[in-house]
Chains A and B, each alone.
Chain A
């Protein structure tokens, strides 16, 4: 079978121990959470760390807790299935719970973690392949090569952000708690991403994602997640849409947000969503018109490339369809939107 490259495993019991291990080992060390993304990538020799620092034994990283000012903290090692099933998250962050509930398949959700999903490597059909395959290709811009096979002559890697939870967290204005050799820092998730497929995160060496924090959502908060994929399980998104609608006491939209993923190197927000939807009421037909305008705006804004498998033109055509359906699902409290 495909083998893992050789490494030494380190099993710290605390975050600070993990950070120290990472600092000492230098760039040849990597963090592994659930391993569902990293280990297949290691079998493909995309990463060959000398030291693998497993966070599995760090108890402080597990679980969802309420912290000050109505905020929730989700430990980075909380499993995706725990996130999907958590009653508080289902109520206060439905888009996140829905996104977590349709990541890959059941086993991967038991094993995979929220932190791991946020930290997911970007994906590309020319990259997520075995060493033999990539060697036969002559490698690519993201790993070991100089050419981009998605964009002829491209100098910037366009591998796709493929984490289902990232857009949901963006609609929820989550912050990431990161610990490193310099101590802890807190980053709004919007500021965490860079549009670079090689590494699309602002993370310093030896830093570890510790917690994902969610602020309070208003009582009229609605959210949903939509996912385009070929199969009803296992697959990464070909397009992911997270939607947020906050309704005021009268039932009118007070705030709205739509974020898309699996198109480009970072999740992208559909601009003007808030201004296009604010004041509209889901119980009135004008809401459908407003959704259609947002969907059309999303279509104009998005130009998916042939980075991940599947027809890029078709993925673009599905942008307005999934934006519309996901916003409607958010309004009716249904979702996730995904074909089975």
Chain B
């Protein structure tokens, strides 16, 4: 029996204590506690990657390609090497082994080997005594290029046979991945529909923009141990990639994630700088740091894929969907990254919270000569969700149905399967709709606000972890190790990456709850491959669910020992001993209780030094077809938003005034942290709808690689956000918890489009919703019906 099926239905986390739903027995879970690292961050004490300084450390810089697509003819670094203070220069030839976060598509090199594929692609790296010298040396490296035709338009890249951006890719041509899947009788169901809406939608490129730029520091010890500190959200995959590219035994590589200044998916690939600092440290025998500039972070990208989407939805007169048919062209940028998964997610994740009797999608990801796209918060599914939720509003409009009603009508239910074979367990989507309807005053206000102001709704579903590890293996997806100390302190070792979402705090809360400790008596050691059991990383909204369950598993093993030892010492039944509030308590005799430290000592005496391990692996999930496991999650989160917008009819400017966010997170292990994820997600989505645009100009250069030109919202641009937490108590989640970090982004974008329709009667189907586009649409509408009528209002 492999780890995947070890726990089965009798998993320890399935054994929920009495009083669960009411929260009454919980001392820690469900409480708005501060984070374990909150004050360290508040006082400036937290150490991030660029805060690390090692004795004798060199500083490294990268030479990047000025061409969007070119062959490298030659590189001459002699002048750079001759510059005083320069210790080493490396190029692609020093690390010729390709890698990729998805093992099937290893199409990246630490430094370009023979070709560059976008403006900003890495070509060479220099280590020098300081940044100024390294920068000067970079300018002295002479590279001869043979420019090739570059593609900036995915349709053109798709149509062209030559030149191929990746000559070794499976193709054909510049196709990165093509997925076509069909479920049910799509043609028949569409034919049986009373109404069919077919339309085109476009989602533009956007990027994560964590405020911390990428940074890595490497040290190579005299005895051959490599340590890399990196601003990454995937320590384990970085460790594997380093071993592959540097041809070092993986056990000799230690990867540590220091405090991380935001990621959102933007730090979930192995990046050039991690390989470069490692290689340069190995060559020079000195520690090496590389800190990317903000411009370089824009080149690293891995952000939201632009998608050109055609959707066709059929529905009966009562609003019930009969089928959905989608054709999607995905602009992948220069490399694969997670693109194989993106092409699947673009189709696979749309099949909830609504029941689709039939569904078909055809998604094609193509390479273009632009910064590579990858997984940004809501990977692969935010774009189709936008298209579909706007289309669903169009269907409601045609049928004269209330947009919330049509969503209720199509609710798929709990404990069911989607048309593409995904298992749905808990599902609080109806409660989400109820909450946003109530809180926004939808019934009284929608359609009755003055012209220029409107309300819009949208719903969504997202995975809470995925059962597909990026490299197939039967090992646990999350592991935990606990070490008890006789002082009453517990140290928990987790491979989980806290990227600001608070996963270290969640682990500490769970340990404190399970072992009856004060949270301050739990220390968390995280994301250090030398010290912690493997966790796959902070992506796919997997950490709370998987690491949380592994933590509970480890705690219950230990708790059983402690309780047994105390029960034996007290000569009572095991069931009478309870660990809570820092003490071991006799449930039948209130006068008998001892400090938890004493209980630990009794257990240590009885069982020897105390520690435990715990793990989690998803049950076997997914549809029985090629790709059926991609998008299969042990649980799904559900969200509904209502957005309130105002539209300035003269300037075309949309102001998002308020957003009500209702999110089913299973159980809010800490409602304050859940609300923070919900608000942050909604904010990020609103920004994608109204402000941000990640693109290249006609020369293939990034259109504005700075925080001045890539405009993320300031404190005055962000609407009032209302977090409405819905708790469906998932049967398999830790204490019933599911994800909260990505799902709540999805509906914000279509909800704004739908609200604009309510406000001024125009359908915005092409992102971003710039004032110029809005004005144009308003004029077109006026031209169609010169008498100003308020569309969407009857």
Contacts and interface: CB of A to CB of B under 8 A. Distances in A.
Q: Do A and B bind each other?
A: yes
Interface of A: 1-3, 6, 105, 125, 128-130, 132-133, 135-137, 228, 230-236, 309, 311, 313-314, 317-318, 321, 339-340
Contact of A133 (B651, B691, B705): B705
Contact of A232 (B699, B701, B702, B716): B716
A72 B517 CA distance: 68
B771 interface: yes
Contact of A132 (B66, B131, B213, B294): B66
A340 B291 CA distance: 34
B713 A231 contact: yes
B788 interface: no
Given A234-B708, A309-B704, A339 B295 contact: no
Nearest to B709: A309
Given A230-B691, A234-B714, A314-B775, A339 B655 contact: yes
B704 A235 contact: no
Contacts of B772: 311, 313-314, 317
Contacts of A136: 66-67, 119, 699, 701
User: Chain A interface mostly helix, strand, loop or mixed?
Assistant: loop
A340 B657 CA distance: 10
A228 B648 CA distance: 13
A232 B651 contact: no
A160 to B, nearest CB: 14
Contacts of B715: 233
Interface residues of B, number: 37
15 contacts: A1-B291, A3-B135, A130-B293, A136-B699, A136-B701, A228-B651, A230-B711, A231-B714, A233-B717, A234-B708, A235-B711, A311-B772, A314-B772, A314-B775, A340-B717
B651 A233 contact: no
Contacts, number: 79
Contacts of B691: 230-231
Given A3-B132, A136-B701, A232 B714 contact: yes
A292 to B, nearest CB: 12
Given A230-B691, A234-B714, A339-B651, 19 more contacts: A2-B294, A2-B295, A105-B714, A125-B703, A128-B708, A130-B705, A132-B66, A133-B705, A135-B66, A136-B701, A230-B711, A231-B691, A309-B703, A309-B704, A311-B772, A313-B772, A314-B652, A339-B655, A340-B717
A339 B648 contact: yes
A138 B766 CA distance: 33
B770 interface: yes
Contacts of A6: 132
Interface in B277-310: 291, 293-295
Contacts of B653: 339
Interface of B: 64, 66-67, 119, 131-132, 135, 213, 291, 293-295, 648, 650-653, 655, 691, 699, 701-705, 708-709, 711, 713-717, 770-772, 775
Contacts of B119: 136
B179 to A, nearest CB: 35
Contacts of B293: 1-2, 130
A20 B679 CA distance: 56
Q: Which of B709, B711, B770 has the most CB of A within 10 A?
A: B709
The 6 tightest CB contacts between A and B, nearest first, are A136-B66, A232-B716, A314-B772, A233-B714, A311-B772, A321-B650
Contacts of A230: 691, 711
A133 B291 contact: no
A160 B293 CA distance: 26
A317 B713 CA distance: 24
A106 B358 CA distance: 54
A40 to B, nearest CB: 8
A3 B131 CA distance: 8
Contacts of A228: 651
Contacts of B713: 231
A129 B298 CA distance: 13
A184 to B, nearest CB: 36
A224 to B, nearest CB: 17
A45 B711 CA distance: 23
Nearest to B716: A232
Contacts of A231: 691, 711, 713-714, 716-717
B51 to A, nearest CB: 13
Nearest to B687: A231
Contacts of B67: 136
B709 A132 contact: no
Contacts of B708: 128, 234-236
A340 B720 CA distance: 13
Contacts of A313: 772
B201 to A, nearest CB: 21
A231 to B, nearest CB: 5
Nearest to B652: A314
Interface centre among B131, B648, B708, B770 (most CB of A within 10 A): B708
Nearest to B702: A133
Contacts of A235: 708, 711
Nearest to A133: B701
B694 to A, nearest CB: 13
A132 B771 CA distance: 32
Contacts of B775: 314, 317
A236 B651 CA distance: 18
Contacts of B295: 2, 130, 132-133
Contacts of A135: 66
Contacts of A232: 714, 716-717
B281 to A, nearest CB: 21
B243 to A, nearest CB: 30
A88 B291 CA distance: 47
A3 B130 CA distance: 11
Contact of B771 (A105, A234, A314): A314
A225 B717 CA distance: 20
A133 B298 CA distance: 12
Nearest to B698: A149
Nearest to A134: B701
A318 B699 contact: no
Contacts of A236: 708
A190 B361 CA distance: 62
B701 A311 contact: no
A44 to B, nearest CB: 9
B66 A311 contact: no
A152 to B, nearest CB: 11
Nearest to A4: B132
Contacts of A137: 699, 701
Contacts of B716: 231-233, 340
A223 to B, nearest CB: 22
Nearest to A318: B651
